[in-house]
Chain A
Amino acid sequence: KQEVTQIPAALSVPEGENLVLNCSFTDSAIYNLQWFRQDPGKGLTSLLLIQSSQREQTSGRLNASLDKSSGRSTLYIAASQPGDSATYLCAVYSGTYKYIFGTGTRLKVLA
């Protein structure tokens, strides 16, 4: 059974810092992995989708890497801003129609 873990559960950093969010999964047989952002009281916004054949994806200040064999992904946020404050969710897709989500990392960037 696929399980997804995110560390840390919460993170507070000063503005301008580079930071890394971690995601691990137990079954390496995945089709893709997605990072989402969730603002309080809002739905999910897809940030980056990494297919199983890819090692990383970049969008602006965000970079996500995938090491399928070790069951790990990281989300790197460069030069963090207060507007980055949100919960970041990692989800893996194993071809069974459903994403399996981690419990998220709550990020607060202090001005």
Chain B
Amino acid sequence: GAGVSQTPSNKVTEKGKYVELRCDPISGHTALYWYRQSLGQGPEFLIYFQGTGAADDSGLPNDRFFAVRPEGSVSTLKIQRTERGDSAVYLCASSLGGGNQETQYFGPGTRLLVL
């Protein structure tokens, strides 16, 4: 079946603008995760959804970042007043139920460049 998909694959924006990044998880997966990968680094956790609710948003760096998953499937990561330091690859992952023994399946990521 289809894997995790993310759109757009690349996004270039100007400092101060608002951006939305979309994630389509694997069908039937209730758990969804967002990570951010800066150049030369490993991915870092941002937020975890179980169904429609954000079960853990401790990784969001500040209140300019917000994510939603209104119907428990597609998720949107929203960044307000973008800064150059927000430039990174934003990765989405999903797993079947969020259990401790499960694999998280990662999407291809969205490469965000803030000029």
Give the B-binding residues of A (Cβ under 8 A): 4, 31-32, 34, 36, 41-46, 49, 51, 89, 91, 93, 95-104
A45 to B105, CA, bound (A): 8
Given contacts A42-B108, A46-B105, A97-B33, contact A104 B100 (CB under 8 A): no
Summarize A's interface: helix, strand, loop or mixed.
Answer: strand
Q: Is the CB of B42 within 8 A of A89?
A: yes
Indicate if B91 sits at the interface (CB-CB under 8 A): yes
Q: Which of A32, A34, A49, A101 contacts B44 (CB 8 A)?
A: A101
- With a 10 A CB-CB cut-off, give which of A31, A34, A97 has the most chain B CB atoms: A97
Q: Which of A42, A91, A97, A104 contacts B56 (CB 8 A)?
A: A97
B contact residues, range: 20 to 34
Q: Is the CB of A43 within 8 A of B56?
A: no
Q: Chain B contacts of A93 at CB under 8 A?
A: 100
Q: Which of A32, A43, A51, A91 contacts B42 (CB 8 A)?
A: A91
Given pairs A32-B100, A43-B107, A91-B42, 7 additional interface contacts (CB within 8 A) = A36-B106, A42-B109, A43-B109, A95-B100, A97-B33, A98-B33, A98-B45
Indicate if B30 sits at the interface (CB-CB under 8 A): no
Give B56-115 interface residues, CB cut-off 8 Å to A. Answer: 56, 59, 91, 98, 100-101, 103-109, 111
Q: Chain A contacts of B56 at CB under 8 A?
A: 96-98
A21 to B41, CA, bound (A): 17
Q: Chain B contacts of A97 at CB under 8 A?
A: 31, 33, 45, 48, 55-56, 98
